[in-house]
Structure 1
């Protein structure tokens, strides 16, 4: 119990110190991953970016294999790709304002791979205007922004397809910047960030 309280305090403290580039009027909260990390095991909840979650999983389950997990999850992602046109509403490239910085293709691709490798959900608190940085490495971020008045928890692998769409439509040589909206009243942003 004490460990859980200390861990929660450390995560919330570290998130408070994170500098981000989310749009004005949006609040940044930690992303919570919920899923099973051992075969036949119970669900766990872990907080942070998907990269942080992977590190936490490796500490809890040293046998966790990202590559093997990714191969299994690719089938899930394909189902999401088929359904995507039904649930996605609008895609914008070169978003101006607070998210006008570009992300690097290589690091967004890596973030997508991390999202695809986990069979769980990426939760973000109630909005409107609540964002969670779900991936960030080398100043390239992926955000999930919730405009509902309730918490949402889409599959991480489905969110990866939003980032893939942005990469496909908004790719500019080596850099990417874009935002895609979902009919469930949330959106995914790919942009340069501070991480």
Structure 2
């Protein structure tokens, strides 16, 4: 497992979307049954040259980083040298600008709990991304954007057309659930619903 504080700003672009998952995952605790298409990312071959040649890798953000390090040894270390360790305080992980509160949220979902600290690390990963997250038409079109130590962040599009968000919006949703739904400051699960028909999920997953 690669160490966490990895600087990804200005180099990541989402180039494919995920289709086919149900809107609420309550009745489907086994995410592997959804037929999920992995997200793909364009990453620079030289970590210190974000405008140089790129290569496409698939998976969650963590999986993409692991693949880059395996193919280009030292790639991860170059990024780590450029950014200080992130804060793990839940409140501080809400965007500096006023974060949008969900219209509703549910902490009593059926699936298993994620590790709260692992979700916080996932939030920090998403905060480093520039550009936008794109998801195809729903309802119930969900993609897993982060997963580490069996703790995942998903976002779902319930609109009947493509939806595009800032990565910070997804991070805010996960940070909100981590703050409002955490149990004993160790475990968390939940789903937060937003007014423009999209939602964020944190839950245990296999990774």
TM norm. shorter chain > 0.5:
yes
Higher helix fraction (1 or 2): 1
Shift of 1:83: 3.9
Question: Once the 2 structures are TM-superposed, how far is the Cα of residue 48 of structure 1 from its aligned partner?
Answer: 2.0
Which runs of no fewer than 5 residues in structure 1 stay unpaired? 1-10, 16-20
Question: Partners in 2 of 1:128 and 1:70 — Cα distance?
Answer: 39
Q: Does 1:165 align with 2:176?
A: yes
State the distance in 2 between where 1:75 and 1:167 align.
10
Q: What's the secondary structure of 2:65's corresponding residue? A: helix
- Answering whether residue 38 of structure 2 is matched by residue 30 of structure 1, we say yes
**TM-score (structure 2 length as normaliser):** 0.65
Contact 1:35 1:121 in 2 (8 A): no
Counterpart position of 1:7: none
**Using the alignment, how far apart are the partners of 2:93 and 2:144 within structure 1?**
25
Closer, same or farther: CA 152–33 of 1 in aligned 2, 3 Å? farther
Question: Partners in 1 of 2:58 and 2:125 — Cα distance?
Answer: 14
Question: Is the contact made by 1:31 and 1:124 (CA closer than 8 Å) also made in structure 2?
Answer: no
Are 1:175 and 2:187 matched, yes or no?
yes
- Residue 155 of structure 1 is matched in structure 2 by 166
Question: Using the alignment, how far apart are the partners of 2:62 and 2:196 within structure 1?
Answer: 25
Query: Is the contact made by 1:29 and 1:131 (CA closer than 8 Å) also made in structure 2?
Result: no
Q: Distance in 2 between matches of 1:183 and 1:29?
A: 26
Name 2:13's counterpart in structure 1: none
Aligned to 2:4: none
> Deviations for 1:102-138, whole angstroms, at most 9, x for unmatched residues?
0011211111111112213222222111111111112
Q: Give RMSD over aligned pairs.
A: 3.7
Of 23-32 and 124-133, the range deviating more from structure 2: 23-32
Runs ≥4 residues deviating over 6 A: 34-37, 41-45
SS in 1 for 2:152: strand
- Residues 65 and 131 (structure 1 numbering): CA distance in 2 closer, same or farther, change over 3 Å? same
Offset of 1:68 from its aligned partner? Answer: 3.8
1:187: which partner in 2? Answer: 199
In structure 2, list runs of 5 or more residues that go unmatched.
1-15, 19-23, 86-91
What TM-score do you get using the length of structure 1 for normalisation? 0.68
| d(CA) in 2 for partners of 1:145, 1:55 | 25
Aligned residues: 169
Instruction: Say if 1:75 and 1:40 are closer, same or farther in 2 by CA, change over 3 A.
Output: farther
Q: What is the DSSP-based 3-state SS (H/G/I as helix, E as strand, rest coil) of the residue aligned with 1:194?
A: coil
